[in-house]
């Protein structure tokens, strides 16, 4: 029969095991509390501190020995203490074991040095040995609040900046406008964002640009867009069409592909550009008309000088010769005076021919461009002593009068510039023609000039040559460098005449 001592032994062993387990559990709990990164504070029903872990010491700036059995209120700003006591009392009667404290779990705490700081807190309650204990877990969110404040201030600065920017800015996501600044509201003709937000951007893009906008969105989304700015037209809410320059970029916003657009209203500028182009075209037409009238007047004066004055001088010369034939040999004084008159008449005839030729070489109309160029080059070389290398097409070709005149005048002005300014010893002239174009090139080995002199006040000759080429739908290029000579190339479309075989 077992003794009493032997029957109690298993029970005592079980109690020891239970006690050991409890001690181990308390040790583990204490280890967790002591090593926790968040502050852990436990208070009794009077809200006196019973547990104050190292994280709480660091958070509040005081030692555990100094705060045990002291009121928790010392870590709560005075203005919140009454509300805090009421909150703990209500929580104690609910029977709920855990709860977050404060609106969105944020409350204000007080360090030992009097500094207030924000914390996130959660509270739990438990009954131990008939005593109700409340445990608060606190997390200092000062750094997070500062970061949030910095982000908020940055967002406010960004918002103010965006609102002050004169260009229209909008963001679209999922084919809907989700943001726009004041300038964009005004550009689209709305009084408030309500009239625009949530609408598709295509409602404001001119139908002619819908396909372009869609293709651009695809390129932006795939990273293939290389044109940062493009011209488009938009349609305001009131139906008015406006010209805009638009710069766009793609980015991810709230997990979706979004597009940022910056629009600049260039309607007035475009209108000004159109008016300027029209004005220039009108001036060009006026210049062409004046040049045509001037050439006609020069041709008329040249022909009158050649025909009427030339014939009159020739008749006068013949009459003088007849008078001289009637003089007696002994009338030496009269004969000498007649010879002087004859020389003066011949000089006057030469001057009339020179003036008439400079006004308008009649051979340009009678013999054509190539013969006139040969005469002009020969006369230039004879007068200036400058060697000229002339290359003309081997095949005869015909041009209308306006084009022939322009080519002749450009060559005439180029040679005049060479004689006056270039200081050249050699000039190379080339005239070539294809079925579509005629090109005149004048190269000299003179002193040349810099780019700054090309548009100076003494270059109206160059401006006139350029204008002649532009009127005919062509262009005139000038290449020159100091000490390297000058090259003038005029290229104009050929409007009439086709090459023909030489006879």
Reduced to 3 states (helix: H, G, I; strand: E, B; else coil), residue 98 is strand
Average pLDDT over residues 310-328: 79
User: In whole angstroms, how far apart are CA 340 and each of 43, 335, 344, 429?
Assistant: 141, 9, 6, 42
β-strands 106-110, 98-100: how paired?
unpaired
Give the pLDDT band of residue 375 (cuts 50, 70, 90): confident
* pTM: predicted TM-score of the whole model, two decimal places: 0.47
The answer to whether 470 and 284 have CB atoms below 8 angstroms apart is yes
pLDDT of residue 225: 82
pLDDT of residue 498: 39
> Which residue did the predictor score with more confidence, 309 or 97?
309
Average pLDDT over residues 377-387: 87
Reduced to 3 states (helix: H, G, I; strand: E, B; else coil), residue 382 is helix
Closest by CA to 497, choosing from 349, 423, 397, 407, is 397
Task: Judge residue 442's burial from the number of C-beta atoms within 10 Å of its C-beta, 0-12 exposed, 13-18 middle, 19 or more buried.
Answer: buried
Give the pLDDT band of residue 460 (cuts 50, 70, 90): low
Tens-place pLDDT, residues 174-207: 999 998 999 999 999 998 888 899 999 999 999 9
> Which residue did the predictor score with more confidence, 462 or 252?
252
> Which residue did the predictor score with more confidence, 300 or 372?
372
Closest by CA to 29, choosing from 51, 57, 62, 59, is 51
Lowest mean pLDDT among 126-130, 134-138, 371-375: 126-130
Reduced to 3 states (helix: H, G, I; strand: E, B; else coil), residue 63 is coil
Give the pLDDT band of residue 52 (cuts 50, 70, 90): very high
pLDDT of residue 433: 86
Give the pLDDT band of residue 274 (cuts 50, 70, 90): confident
Average pLDDT over residues 395-423: 81
d(CA 265, CA 330): 96
The answer to whether 412 and 369 have CB atoms below 8 angstroms apart is no
Question: What are residue 478's DSSP bridge partners?
Answer: 488
DSSP output for 102-116? SGGGEEEEE-TTS-E
Lowest mean pLDDT among 41-55, 217-231, 287-301, 337-351: 287-301
Of 52-56, 121-125, 330-334, where does the model show the most confidence? 52-56
Q: What DSSP element (H or E) covers 422? A: none
Give the pLDDT band of residue 228 (cuts 50, 70, 90): confident
pLDDT of residue 102: 46
pLDDT of residue 10: 52
pLDDT of residue 205: 93
Lowest mean pLDDT among 73-77, 236-240, 320-324, 484-488: 320-324
Q: Which residue has the tokens 């009649």?
A: 362
Tens-place pLDDT, residues 290-300: 767 776 777 77
Is residue 412 pLDDT above 80, yes or no? yes
* Long-range pairs, 83-86, Cβ under 8 A, ≥24: 85/47
d(CA 92, CA 398): 113
Closest by CA to 232, choosing from 217, 250, 222, 221, is 217
pLDDT of residue 457: 47
Tens-place pLDDT, residues 254-270: 788 999 999 999 999 98
Give the pLDDT band of residue 461 (cuts 50, 70, 90): confident
pLDDT of residue 499: 40
The answer to whether 242 and 233 have CB atoms below 8 angstroms apart is yes
pLDDT of residue 12: 60
Q: Is the dihedral of CA 331, 332, 335, 337 positive or negative?
A: negative
d(CA 376, CA 143): 90
Helices (H), 360-478: 362-366, 369-384, 401-417, 460-471
pLDDT of residue 241: 93
Of 26-30, 226-230, 277-281, 329-333, where does the model show the most confidence? 226-230
The shares of helix, strand and coil residues in the chain, as percent rounded to the nearest 5, are 50, 25, 25
The answer to whether 202 and 261 have CB atoms below 8 angstroms apart is no
Q: Is the dihedral of CA 360, 362, 364, 370 positive or negative?
A: negative
> Which residue did the predictor score with more confidence, 21 or 412?
412
Q: At what angle do helices 332-359 and 310-325 cross, to 10 degrees?
A: 170
Is residue 1 pLDDT above 50, yes or no? no
How many other C-beta atoms are found inside a 10 Å radius of the C-beta of residue 287? 15
Lowest mean pLDDT among 51-55, 93-97, 269-273, 338-342: 93-97
How high is the mean pLDDT of the chain? 82
How many other C-beta atoms are found inside a 10 Å radius of the C-beta of residue 76? 20
Is residue 15 pLDDT above 50, yes or no? yes
d(CA 228, CA 250): 11
Tens-place pLDDT, residues 467-502: 888 888 888 888 887 877 888 898 998 864 434 433
The answer to whether 50 and 43 have CB atoms below 8 angstroms apart is yes
Quick one: DSSP state of residue 14? Answer: H
Closest by CA to 435, choosing from 356, 480, 500, is 500
Is residue 166 pLDDT above 50, yes or no? yes
């Amino acid at each position: 029969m077992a003794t009493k001592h032997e029957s109690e032994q298993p029970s005592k062993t079980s109690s020891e095991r239970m006690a050991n387990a409890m001690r181990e559990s308390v040790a583990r709990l204490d280890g967790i509390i002591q090593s926790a990164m968040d502050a852990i504070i436990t208070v009794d029903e009077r809200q006196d501190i019973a547990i104050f872990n190292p994280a709480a010491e660091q958070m509040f700036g005081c030692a555990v020995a100094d705060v045990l059995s002291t009121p928790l209120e010392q870590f709560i700003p005075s203005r919140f203490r009454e509300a805090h006591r009421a909150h703990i009392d209500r929580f104690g009667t609910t029977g709920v074991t855990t709860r977050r404290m404060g609106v969105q779990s944020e409350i204000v705490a007080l360090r030992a040095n009097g500094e207030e700081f924000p914390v996130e807190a959660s509270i739990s309650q438990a009954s131990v040995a008939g005593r109700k204990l409340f445990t608060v877990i606190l997390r200092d969110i000062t750094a997070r609040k500062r970061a949030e404040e910095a982000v908020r201030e940055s967002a406010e600065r960004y918002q103010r900046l965006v609102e002050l920017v004169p260009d229209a800015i909008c963001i679209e996501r999922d084919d809907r406008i989700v943001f726009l600044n004041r300038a964009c509201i005004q550009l689209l003709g709305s009084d408030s964002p309500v009239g625009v937000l949530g609408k598709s951007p295509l409602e404001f893009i001119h139908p002619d640009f819908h396909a372009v906008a869609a293709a651009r969105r695809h390129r932006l989304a795939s990273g293939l867009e290389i044109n940062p700015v493009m011209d488009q037209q938009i349609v305001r809410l009131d139906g008015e069409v406006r010209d805009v320059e638009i710069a766009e970029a793609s980015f991810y916003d709230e997990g979706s592909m979004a597009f940022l657009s910056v629009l600049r209203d260039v309607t007035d500028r475009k209108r000004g550009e159109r008016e300027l182009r029209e004005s220039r075209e009108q001036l060009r037409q006026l210049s062409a008309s004046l040049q045509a009238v001037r050439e006609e007047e020069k041709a008329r004066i040249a022909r009158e000088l050649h025909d009427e004055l030339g014939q009159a001088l020739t008749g006068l010369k013949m009459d003088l010769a007849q008078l001289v034939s009637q003089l007696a040999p002994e009338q030496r004084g009269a004969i000498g005076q007649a010879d002087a008159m004859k020389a003066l008449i011949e000089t006057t005839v030469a001057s009339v021919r020179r003036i008439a030729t400079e006004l308008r070489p009649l051979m340009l109309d009678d013999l054509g461009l190539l013969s006139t160029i040969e005469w002009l080059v020969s006369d230039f070389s004879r007068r200036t002593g400058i060697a000229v290398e002339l290359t003309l097409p081997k095949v005869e070709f015909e041009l209308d009068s306006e084009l022939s005149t322009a080519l002749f005048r450009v060559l005439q002005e180029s040679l005049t510039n060479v004689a006056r300014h270039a200081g050249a010893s050699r000039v190379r002239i080339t005239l070539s023609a294809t079925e579509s174009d005629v090109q005149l090139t004048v190269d000299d080995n003179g002193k040349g000039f810099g780019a700054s002199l090309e548009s100076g006040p003494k270059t109206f000759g160059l401006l006139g040559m350029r204008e002649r080429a532009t009127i005919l739908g062509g262009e005139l290029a000038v290449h020159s460098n100091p000490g390297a000579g000058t090259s003038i190339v005029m290229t104009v479309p050929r409007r009439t005449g086709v090459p023909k075989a030489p006879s």
